[in-house]
Amino acid sequence: MARWNSTRGVGRRSATLLGVAVTASFVLAACGGSSSGGGDVSATAGSSDTAAAGDKIAVSLITKDSTNPFFVAMQAGAKAAGEKQGVDITIASGKAEGDDQGQIDAIENAISTKQKGILITPMSTGVNDAIEKARAAGLFVIALDTPPDPADTVDITFATDNRKAGQLIGQYAAAALDGKKAVIALLDIFDDKVVSVDYNRDQGFLEGMGIPVGDGKVNGDEPKTGKYTGGKGGDYEIVGNEATGANEEGGQKGMENLLAKNPNINVVYTINEPTAAGADAAMSAKGKKPADYILVSVDGGKSGVEDVKAGVIDATSQQYPLKMAELGVQAIVDIVKNNKKPEVTPGLDFFDTGVTLIANTPIAGVDSKDPQYGLDNAWG
Amino acid sequence: MTDATATTAGYDAAEEFLDRQSPIQRLQGILHAYPWLSPAVVLVIALIIFSSITSLFAQPGNLGTITQQTAVTATLALGQTLIILTAGIDLSCGAVMVFSSMVMAKLAFDQGVAGLPALFLGILVGGIAGLINGLLVTRVNLPPFIVTLGTLGIFTSLTLLYATGRTVRNRELADELKWLGKPVLLPGGFTITYGVLVMIALYLVFAYVLRYTAWGTHVYAVGDDPDAARLAGIQVNRVLLSVYATAGVIFGIAGWVLIGRVNAASPNSGIDANLDSITAVVIGGTSLFGGRGRVFGTLIGALIVGVVDNGLSVAGLDEAYKRLAIGTLIIVAVTADQWIRRARA
């Protein structure tokens, strides 16, 4: 019989044991902080149990996950800013990229505990409804890192201009090719979900190379062959787009699959630096040296910039998650205490927290900073 | 005591009855005796389909890549097979694997433990995790599904707390931990890794152990009918405990294979690894009701998933079809299992 269906013989002794275990886990959870977010709750700064009733401002930070160093840095930044400003920060997140439900739960928790505001890196348009519900309940909602679609779903976004981040590495790749034919691999996050970070970096990269992108919000609809106009210009061929989940494992697998389609790939775009590390592993397994191809990425995390310094990644667009979190906390304090609303960057529908191209080998005509600058300003 | 021997013996003794069976019944009997046969046919069909869609697929380089892409899931699925043979299930296997890999990587990188002891301790952590699952199943008498659903959460949390969201990168890893990522060139242009060899070696060891040792016979007996096994003098709980602990050690080794594969130890790895391993076992013809199945069926099951995944991608088809194809295979495999089981009645 199916043993895992049977519940026979849970004796009194085991019931007691179970009771002890359950109690212990609650005690443990309580020690970990009185967090009230949904999904994958990891920690709470300060004591949020007094926040709802007291005069202290309580704010939730809801990231996509709690393991990506980018979001870990953002959480640390928000907690530090919260302590300085006297704001209680509740940390919550989805379980992983794609876990909309985890974020929705956390938003609902922020509403029901009567918090003043939410800082969120929206997973997808799937969480828009929940955000609107929060705003209708009087919460001030700020998007960090990822502008929602449409942008006015939230009060304001503090983010990297991901389009520009993509364009910078595209320009660098085109210039580095020096007129050679480009055989391009595109390592995205998803192929079954549309996320603004995903298409802005990918399509921005192609724009930077001077390749016509078709619908700028759709990955993979551009012509597969033609001419790029960036740098000295030349022929290009796109081998394919692969979904990687933005991690090492996915980057490696995606790169392997594209190399099976065309072993002559010499330009690799990656959604972030862990993906780039995976792509590098697949390339070196095929006996390719970093000098044989151009690998570009976005993020500017410490290990990513070290990869730039080591020559594994040729160029990366560095972004600033700590700044996003600090500005976000500050903005909520301003709106609650002084009724002062933040303004978007002129010409954009969000506040641009800046992006810098980091490259080991500077190329004439493309502005970049050296890896040391990158390390001095790196997060995580 | 195992299915195969029992059925073969039955055939010999009842030769004249065999002649009266319809061809369908005979097929049923053959599939019952050789549970890996139907997945093997599916694998061959998948290989033929993808080879005919694109010539890129059957290149030796790509086939080698598929084995590398399959190594981690296949190793996990071996441990999962042992547990499912006892009519159990392990939802925590992927979490145990990632926990083990983080322990090895961080001991060596942060705590300055030498590579080999760190590796050993990481695998030991996997074994302890398995032992905890086994104790909860045998001593507290909880259903394995619930036990491992709980420990899935616990081990995942421990990993996140221990790793503090940080990946141990390639150049930070001890050399011993990266051994399994080293390539092995085979004649004909196939490239595999030491990780693939370790995975295959584990399969050979456990194929032997399950077939030719008393412990192996006991595992099948406990899965087939725990009450009968008890009456036959088998200490059912001790066998179950040893199965969970052994599977934990295999999950720990899978953590090592994972580091070799990814060239990094990341707490983000292996999100769906538990379901992937169960998929491989089920498609490989092992019965979720216990007592019937072969480890090589699981290996074939893992390869089927790897081939479909890679084949769709190399052929430039939408990856969404992968889930459709694998989902259909699961339903077909379990339906076939129900049907084949009736051959004994």
Can you list the domains of chain B with their CATH numbers? 3-8+34-344 (1.10.3470)
Which residue is it, tokens 């991690």?
A: A247
What digits encode the pLDDT tens for the residues A155-190? Answer: 999 999 999 999 999 999 999 999 999 999 999 998
CA distances from A292 to A72, A284, A309, A363, B308 (A): 34, 10, 17, 17, 31
For residue B135, pLDDT beyond 60:
yes
Give the rounded distance of the alpha carbon of A30 from its chain centre.
29
> Do A222 and A113 share a structural domain?
no
Q: What mean pLDDT, rounded, does chain B reach? A: 88
Yes or no: say if A122 and A133 are a contact pair by the CB < 8 Å rule. Answer: no
Q: State residue A45's pLDDT score.
A: 40
The pLDDT tens digits for A278-314 are 999 999 988 899 999 999 999 999 889 999 999 999 9
Q: Which tens digit of pLDDT belongs to each residue from B141-160?
A: 999 999 999 999 999 999 98
Answer whether residue B318 shows pLDDT above 80: no
DSSP A335: I
At A294 the pLDDT is 97
Run of H or E including A226: strand A225-228
Please check the confidence at residue A274 and state whether its pLDDT lies above 60: yes
pLDDT of residue A144: 94
User: Quick one: DSSP state of residue B169?
Assistant: P
Q: How confident is the model at residue A49 (pLDDT cuts 50, 70, 90)?
A: very low
Question: What total of structural domains would you count in chain A?
Answer: 2
Share above pLDDT 70 across residues of chain B, in percent, rounded to a whole number: 93
- Which chain A residue lies closest to B265 (C-alpha atoms)? A248
Model pLDDT, residue B32: 80
pLDDT recorded at residue A226:
96
- In this structure, the answer to whether residues A129 and A244 fall within a common structural domain is no
Kindly state whether residues A228 and A370 are assigned to the same domain: yes
In this structure, the answer to whether residues A132 and A218 fall within a common structural domain is: no
Backbone region of residue A36 per phi and psi (left: phi > 0; alpha: psi in -120 to 50; beta: other values): alpha
Rounded Cα distance between B91 and B175, Å, is 31
pLDDT at B300 over 50: yes
- Contact at CB, B266 and A261, closer than 8 angstroms: no
In a domain, A263, yes or no: yes
Query: Minimum mean pLDDT among B56-60, B79-83, B276-280: which range?
Result: B56-60
Tell me, yes or no, whether A122 and A188 share the same domain: no
Complex ipTM value: 0.70
A141 shares its domain with A273: no
Q: What is the pLDDT of residues B4-21, one digit of tens each?
A: 444 444 455 555 555 567
Q: Which residue of A has its CA nearest to B57?
A: A260
Inter-chain residue contact A257 with B169, CB threshold 8 Å = no
Cβ neighbors of B32 (< 8 A, separation 6 or more) are B3, B7, B292, B340, B341, B343, B344
Please give the span between the terminal C-alpha atoms of chain B, in angstroms, as a whole number.
17
Contact indicator for B288, B84 with CB cutoff of 8 Å? yes
Residues of A in contact with B316 (CB under 8 A): 240, 261
- Are A105 and A226 found together in one domain? no
Residues from chain B that touch A72, judged by Cβ atoms under 8 A, are 164-166
Same domain membership, residue A123 and residue A45: yes
Establish if A110 belongs to a structural domain: yes
Reported as a pLDDT band with limits 50, 70 and 90, residue A55 is low
In-domain check, residue A148: yes
State whether residue A24 sits within 8 Å of chain B by CB: no
Interface contact flag, B263 A310, Cβ < 8 Å: no
Do A366 and A327 belong to one domain?
no
pLDDT band at residue A37, thresholds of 50, 70 and 90? very low
| Residue A348 covered by a domain | no
Distance from CA of B58 to the nearest CA of A (A): 10
Interhelix angle for B115-138 vs B93-109, to 10°? 150
- A123/chain B closest Cα distance in angstroms: 17
Tell me whether residues B87 and A2 touch, CB distance under 8 A. yes
Domain of residue A298 covers 162-318+355-376
In a domain, A10, yes or no: no
Judge if A145 and A166 occupy the same domain: no
Range scoring the smallest mean pLDDT among A264-268, A312-316, B328-332: B328-332
- The CA angle A282-A288-A294, to the nearest 5 degrees, is 85
Nearest CA in chain A to B162: A67
CA-wise closest residue to A155 among A350, A354, A320: A350
**A185, A239 Cβ separation under 8 angstroms:** yes
A7: in domain = no
Give residues 172 to 201 of A whose Cβ lies within 8 Å of B.
191-192
CB atoms within 10 A of CB A350: 19
What CATH number does residue A121 fall under?
Answer: 3.40.50.2300
pLDDT at A137: 92
Span of A200-214, A233-247, B110-124, B265-279 with lowest mean pLDDT: B265-279
Looking at the predicted structure, is the pLDDT value of residue B51 above 80?
yes
Among A6, A69, A249, select the one facing B269 at the smallest CB separation: A249
- Say if residue A197 is in the same domain as residue A147: no
Instruction: Considering only residues A15 and A208, tell me which one the structure prediction assigns the higher pLDDT.
Output: A208
Q: What is the DSSP letter of A148?
A: -
* A234 SS3 class: strand
Q: What is the mean pLDDT of residues B21-25?
A: 79
The whole-chain average pLDDT of chain A stands at: 85
Considering only the beta carbons, identify the residue of B160, B191, B225 that sits closest to A42. B160
Q: Are residues A202 and A311 in the same domain?
A: yes
Distance in angstroms (rounded) separating the CA atoms of residues A231 and B284: 53
The answer as to whether A308 is a domain residue is yes
Burial A159-172 (b: 16+ CB within 10 A, else e): bbbbbbbbbbbbbb
A-chain CB neighbours of B190 within 8 Å are none
pLDDT higher than 70, residue A33: no
Residue B12 confidence (pLDDT):
52
Question: Within a domain: residue A14?
Answer: no
CB contact under 8 A, B144 and A7: no
Instruction: Tell me the chain B residues in contact with residue A303 when contact means C-beta distances shorter than 8 Å.
Output: 167, 169
Burial B237-270 (b: 16+ CB within 10 A, else e): bebbbbbbbbbbbbbbbbbbbbbbbbbbbbbbbb
